Chain A
Amino acid sequence: MPKPIKRYTTLEFERPLEGLYEKLDKLKTIQATSKIDMNEEIKMVIKSLETLRKDIYANLNPNQIVQVARSLQRPTTLDYIGMIFTDFVELHGDRNFADDPALVTGLAKLANRSVVVMGHQKGHTTKENLARNFGMANPEGYRKALRLMRFAERYNKPIISFIDTSGAYPGLGAEERGQAEAIAKNLREMAELTVPFISIITGEGGSGGALGIAMGNRVLMLEFSIYSVISPEGCASILFRDASRAKEAAIALKITANDLLALGVIDDIIKEPVGGAQSDPEFTAKNIKAAIVKHLEPLLSLSQRELIADRYSKYRKLGIYSE
């Protein structure tokens, strides 16, 4: 039986790096098993690896960004919460029907400031993903989020939301319990929140399921995340009438952080390391934290009325048409 090929990379467009990784591995084995000094060669290979990697990540196309955004290795909301905040206490349940593990909420400290945090929760493994319903929330998830938003308002604490979902769950129970109503109500209530609210798209921003907790005063996006009204696959099968044309759809839909910044839908892009957030979660978390602090600061001095007006005008002016 042939030996399985050892893979150093997980994403298709990183394949050009394979050869260099293999070489590096070989050099390290030689170094370890013999007395020959390979340090110079190892350094050189590492250097060319880094250059090539940097090159690849500097020129990602929308389809490659989709792959990075959906990677199983990508840090999840709970990973980020652990790295950005302290004293996190997770709170559960919508007080009506159930707790939704696909959307987590809780109390935390950002530096010394109390904040309410929430976000879609995916898993890193199939087992975790099954437990988290792949980050696709049910109505009770959105209602739990709304409960925590009201809670934040009552105690005058800022809200930070993390967006990472392919969409709200399209299930039978979800429909029966009012998925549409749950999301719609959140949209209306978020517009009226009297506290500062920042939303960060960290992976997939999938349609209404993403927007359901994403109507912040400021919306930030990680460099290699996506935000769209429909998945490229869904768009391809509906509009292009051919699911295999998802790659074209991904380009046509303009779903990258740069596109959305140009359209005025988001306010800032948060830098990711070469290799994406998954290659250095700590570094990414530090960048996210800095961005939260930067955008939260000016909002803290606004009155309740000003905060509502700020949010209203942000969404009121979105739309392009001729008259």
Chain B
Amino acid sequence: MECTIISSSLSIHDWFKRKKLQKETEYTRERLDIPGNLWVKCYKCSQTIYAKDLEQNLKVCPKCNYHFKLTSAERIKQLADEGTFKEINAGLVSKNFLDFKDTKNYADRIDDSRTKTGLNDALRTGLAKIGGYGVALGVMDFSFMGGSMGSVVGEKFARLIEAAIENKQPAIVFSASGGARMQESIMSLMQMAKTSAALGRLRENALPYISVLTDPTTGGVSASYAMLGDINMAEPGALICFAGPRVIEQTIRQKLPPGFQRSEYLLEHGMIDIVCPRTNLRDTLIKILAFFKEQNA
């Protein structure tokens, strides 16, 4: 009896689709903080990994090469020469200027995220050295409200670019963002204009901008500064898109091809320069910085 009910409501195709869908959600619902446990399970291949090994391998699964999400602190630690990162504009804090409330008040969301992450917003900026080269470095943090871009992210980005111009240094920004921060409505949209305009200035000053896209980089961030690098780099397997896969599936009512909107797919379609594994990232950046150094000398 039960069997007939199931077979009438679910075709075999639906069943497979559902299973796949579940897997996909699991994969995106990854937690950022590795708990105090000694062992960590890979979100992709389910392999159990010794936490210290994972840390040593820059949080890349040694078995399947899955790149775990990094917090901004972890990213900076992996990347910058030890002790060289000097944070700027860390005190900028978002305001609920529209008195916006969805299922929760935006002001409370900000407070909660600040408590949870110990950060003031979704982008950290500063001056640092990488392989001895001075750079203006920005790192987004997905754990702060999904890395969404509001007034603070936009302003800090613009100031970072201005700092790069002032110091005559290249700018490197790591993106990880669900897009514009809807709670700031039109003002979040305007940050796309502001950040892109700042990059125009950087280019006028003949200073390079390296954009590194990490999982995920979507919406308003991909449609502004993340895609504007002189060099666009991406970590393997990162979701990079303007519109998310679910929106597209709903619009075109077709199944999306495998690997759609992942780094490798974008490389194939000519949208990014390099897909670079995290274990090679620092070395590759140093080579690129060396290229520019000679030119600017």
Q: Mark A310-323, 1 if CB is under 8 A from B, else 0.
A: 01100110111111
Within 141-195 of B, Cβ neighbours of A (below 8 Å) are at 150-152, 154-155, 158, 180, 182-194
Of all chain B residues, the one with the shortest Cβ separation from A210 is B189
In the complex, whether B297 has a CB less than 8 A from a CB of chain A is no
Number of A-B residue pairs having CB atoms within 8 Å of each other in the complex: 180
| CB atoms of A318 and B190 under 8 A apart | yes
> Which of B74-82, B126-134, B218-226, B281-289 faces chain A?
B218-226
In the complex, whether A121 has a CB less than 8 A from a CB of chain B is no
Question: How far, in angstroms, from A42 to B115 measured CA to CA in the complex?
Answer: 68
Question: How far, in angstroms, from A320 to B184 measured CA to CA in the complex?
Answer: 9
A170, A241, A255: the one contacting B185 at CB < 8 Å is: A255
| CB atoms of B95 and A170 under 8 A apart | no
Closest CB of chain A to B12's CB: distance in Å? 25
| CB atoms of B194 and A229 under 8 A apart | no
What chain A residues lie within 8 Å of B228 (beta carbons)?
A: 184-185, 188
Of all chain B residues, the one with the shortest Cβ separation from A229 is B189
> Which of A154-162, A171-179, A288-296 faces chain B?
A171-179
Within 208-240 of A, Cβ neighbours of B (below 8 Å) are at 208, 211, 215, 227-230, 235, 238-240
Question: How far, in angstroms, from A194 to B65 measured CA to CA in the complex?
Answer: 47
Within 143-183 of A, Cβ neighbours of B (below 8 Å) are at 168-172, 174-181, 183
What chain B residues lie within 8 Å of A241 (beta carbons)?
A: 103
How many chain-A residues does the 8 Å CB contact rule pick out? Answer: 53
Closest CB of chain B to A291's CB: distance in Å? 20
In the complex, whether B93 has a CB less than 8 A from a CB of chain A is yes
What chain B residues lie within 8 Å of A172 (beta carbons)?
A: 248, 252, 254, 256-257, 260
Question: How far, in angstroms, from A227 to B240 measured CA to CA in the complex?
Answer: 25
Question: How far, in angstroms, from A174 to B241 measured CA to CA in the complex?
Answer: 10
| CB atoms of B242 and A319 under 8 A apart | no
Question: How far, in angstroms, from A184 to B173 measured CA to CA in the complex?
Answer: 15
What chain A residues lie within 8 Å of B199 (beta carbons)?
A: 188
In the complex, whether B94 has a CB less than 8 A from a CB of chain A is yes
Question: How far, in angstroms, from A260 to B185 measured CA to CA in the complex?
Answer: 10
Question: How far, in angstroms, from A263 to B190 measured CA to CA in the complex?
Answer: 11
| CB atoms of A252 and B101 under 8 A apart | yes
What chain A residues lie within 8 Å of B188 (beta carbons)?
A: 229
| CB atoms of B242 and A183 under 8 A apart | yes
| CB atoms of B197 and A191 under 8 A apart | yes
| CB atoms of A321 and B92 under 8 A apart | yes
| CB atoms of B194 and A181 under 8 A apart | no
Question: How far, in angstroms, from A183 to B223 measured CA to CA in the complex?
Answer: 6
What chain A residues lie within 8 Å of B261 (beta carbons)?
A: 175
What chain B residues lie within 8 Å of A263 (beta carbons)?
A: 186-187
Question: How far, in angstroms, from A168 to B187 measured CA to CA in the complex?
Answer: 19
In the complex, whether A207 has a CB less than 8 A from a CB of chain B is yes
Closest CB of chain B to A62's CB: distance in Å? 12
A208, A312, A323: the one contacting B91 at CB < 8 Å is: A323
Of all chain B residues, the one with the shortest Cβ separation from A226 is B186
| CB atoms of B243 and A253 under 8 A apart | no
| CB atoms of B95 and A322 under 8 A apart | yes
What chain A residues lie within 8 Å of B257 (beta carbons)?
A: 172
In the complex, whether B294 has a CB less than 8 A from a CB of chain A is no
The 8 closest A-B pairs by CB, nearest first: A170-B243, A187-B196, A191-B197, A319-B151, A239-B102, A180-B242, A180-B222, A318-B190
List, sorted by A's number, 13 A–B pairs whose CB atoms are closer than 8 Å. A168-B242, A175-B242, A175-B260, A187-B192, A188-B228, A211-B193, A229-B186, A229-B188, A239-B183, A253-B186, A321-B92, A322-B95, A323-B93
Other A-B pairs, 11, CB within 8 Å; known A168-B242, A320-B95:
A180-B241, A181-B227, A184-B226, A188-B196, A191-B196, A207-B189, A211-B189, A211-B193, A229-B188, A253-B98, A253-B185
